[in-house]
Amino acid sequence: MTENRIPDSQINIMEPRIFADAKSISNKLMSGNAVLIKMNNVQPATIRRIVDFLNGTVFAIDGSIQQIDEHVYLCAPKKFAIDGDVKQRFNKRLENKNDYSN
């Protein structure tokens, strides 16, 4: 028997360009969805502002935010379990990257 089921929550992938885009990301989080945020084309000061804003959102919903890569973040509400220590793996990648530059 097959069951057609609509998932309760989703993982959204978003690429903000300006600080105002943080509100859309925040709305996704508050509606119970996780968001993978790619900020490759965003100025460093704007990245900081977006991350600060999203830190407030995840605090309010008892969620989490983790940096996955240099310009990639994962924000998730409380009901999402993030398996493994993503930040530890990211730091190891940075260490390995720095080893090659010597």
Closest CA to 50 of 67, 63, 34: 67
Fold of 11-99: Translation Initiation Factor IF3 (3.30.110)
Sequence letter at residue 62: D
Q: For residue 3, report the phi and psi dihedrals to the nearest 5 degrees.
A: -125, 120
pLDDT value at position 39? Answer: 97
Cα dist from 84 to 42, 61, 76, 90, whole Å = 27, 21, 14, 11
pTM value is: 0.75
Spans of all domains in the chain: 11-99
User: What count of residues does the chain have?
Assistant: 102
CA distance 67 to 88: 10
Q: Which of 19-33, 41-55, 68-82 has the lowest mean pLDDT?
A: 68-82
pLDDT at 2: 46
